[in-house]
Structure 1
Amino acid sequence: MTRKDYPQGTDNVLLDLGFDNAEELSVKAALAFKLNELVSQRSLTQAEVASITGMTQPKVSQVRRYKLQNISLERLMQALVSLGQHVEINVEPASNANATGITVAA
């Protein structure tokens, strides 16, 4: 059996799969994950989440299913704030150790 050479992957599976907007999708997924985690912990219904966040129930349903194409980063951040979270954005120069890009720690 011969060993095949495969390209080295990155930390971003969406980028590895060839998505043009992989970085944005990864950030949205991280924010949606945190939002979904809060909703589950609090046992909130989609209607309750919609009322608290100002989103429509269908938008909440999209977030719950990680269908994030039509939901902005800003909307996800505002929803987290509505659920009592502090969202912080830091902008700093990229160093050799930290490549340019966007990172979310949730």
Structure 2
Amino acid sequence: MKVNQANIESEIEFEVGSGNVFADLGFENAEEMSFKSELVRQINRAISSQNLNSQQVRDLLHIDEEMLVNLSRGRLTELTIEHLFRYLNILGRDLEVVLKPPSTASSQGKLTVTVI
């Protein structure tokens, strides 16, 4: 039986996301969560690229097993941005904070992470 691709695609409902999954899910602090999520992703990438085992990571970052699990699973509520910045520095990553005028006339600025 031959499936008509055009018919299948026309029956699938979808919604275009905003680019921030946390905002799309209705979280109040979505921008901060997205920011922290990218920092955690970079921490996990640094850990992986250095081939560190769990004990080495705990010793290096001075964290316990629970915090390591939070990092590896992207649990953001227990992690502050300051802690994430410090972990990235310890793992050999340089951080640069750039403050600039907003790109639009909105009254609130935005948080972004640019990875070089």
Per the TM superposition, whether the score is higher than 0.5 is: yes
Structure 2 residue 81 is matched with structure 1 residue 63: no
- C-alpha distance in structure 2 between counterparts of 1:49 and 1:7, whole Å: 39
Structure 1 distance, partners of 2:30, 2:100, is 21
1:54 and 2:39 aligned: no
How many angstroms does 1:49 deviate by? 0.9
How many residue pairs get aligned? The number is 104
Find 1:36's aligned residue among 26, 35, 44: 44
Distance (whole Å) between structure 1 residues aligned to residue 113 and residue 22 of structure 2: 15
Query: Rg larger in 1 or in 2?
Result: 2
Amino acid at match of 1:83: L
**Which residue matches 2:86?**
78
Provide runs of 4+ in structure 1 moved above 4 Å.
none
Q: Which residues of structure 1 form unaligned runs of 5+?
A: none
Offset at residue 14 of structure 1 (A): 1.0
Q: List alignment gaps of at least 5 residues for structure 2.
A: 1-9
TM-score by length of 2: 0.78
State the distance in 2 between where 1:105 and 1:47 align. Answer: 29
Q: Percent identity?
A: 30
Query: Which residue number corresponds to residue 105 of structure 1?
Result: 114
CA contact (8 A) 1:46 1:61 kept: no
- Report 1 or 2 for greater relative contact order, CA contacts < 8 Å, sequence distance ≥ 6: 1
